Amino acid sequence: MTQPKSSTKGPRIGRAGMSQQILDAARETLAQDGFAAFGVNAVARAAGCDKQLIYRYFGGLDGLVAAIGETLADRVTDGLTQPDPPPASYAALIEALLRRLFDLLVQDALVRRIAAWELADPSPLTLPLAAARSAGLQQWVADMRGNLAAPAGIDAPAVNALLIGGVQQLALAAAAGQPFAGLVLDPAGTARTQAAIAALVHGVYGSAKN
């Protein structure tokens, strides 16, 4: 009974396979349990391997987070992209961005958890993550903008930052199942949110096709 029937040590899937497995487990752990539960032990458990491999292949948690960050910008851009006609105005562009960002955050737990992480526990670790998320947004805008421009006399970056923050906040609260500022985020509340987005965007940027 003591003889090693099936070898438990030694290479089985190889470095490349195991690295990918660890990376997937890290994403899943972070997406499911948030950054507070995100550690070497938890990831190793989820990956079904020894934590030593995380140090060997990624140089610790830092490297693992950096690896997640490298694919994050594309994940955001892809998550925002849907096949439909290009926006006819700057207002329509921003409205589409906000609506899809809301949907993306509600659906993609990883991106949502990362957003929450940046806010609650900013650290050198989260800086590249924040940059990657921002880059993903900007990439989508660059892809879709065409030659649309914001109306003159309005500080579009500041206005957009505010709106993006609002959407992000509501999406985080929705995922938490908590009402926010008196707004309950059930399906009906979601519809109201989208209508409010439209009202705000067209209120500042105008409904005309500029």
Residues in touch with its own copies (CB under 8 A): 34-36, 116-122, 127, 130, 134, 137-138, 154-155, 157-170, 172-173, 176-183, 189, 192-193, 195-197, 199-200, 203-204
- Residue 202 CB, nearest distance to its own copies (Å)? 8
Per partner kind, with CB cut-offs from 5 to 8 A, the member of its own copies, DNA, none near residue 49 is DNA
Nearer CB in complex with DNA: 47/93 = 47
Total count of residues recorded for the chain: 210
Residue type, 189: G
Helix, strand, coil % in the chain, rounded to nearest 5: 70, 0, 30
Number of Cβ within 10 Å of residue 98's Cβ equals 22
- Residue 203 CB, nearest distance to its own copies (Å)? 3
- Residue 145 CB, nearest distance to DNA (Å)? 41
Nearer CB in complex with DNA: 128/189 = 128
Per partner kind, with CB cut-offs from 5 to 8 A, the member of DNA, its own copies, none near residue 11 is DNA
Q: Which residues, other chains included, contact 28 with Cβ-Cβ below 8 Å and sequence gap of 6+?
A: 46
Nearer CB in complex with its own copies: 53/130 = 130
Question: Is residue 194 within 8 Å of residue 100, measured between CB atoms?
Answer: no
Cα–Cα dist 20/22, whole Å = 5
Residues in contact with DNA by the rule CB under 7 A:
4, 7-15, 17-18, 37, 39-42, 48-53, 55, 60-61
Cα–Cα dist 150/92, whole Å = 11
Nearer CB in complex with its own copies: 19/168 = 168
Cα–Cα dist 18/53, whole Å = 9
- Residue 175 CB, nearest distance to DNA (Å)? 23
Cα–Cα dist 95/199, whole Å = 9
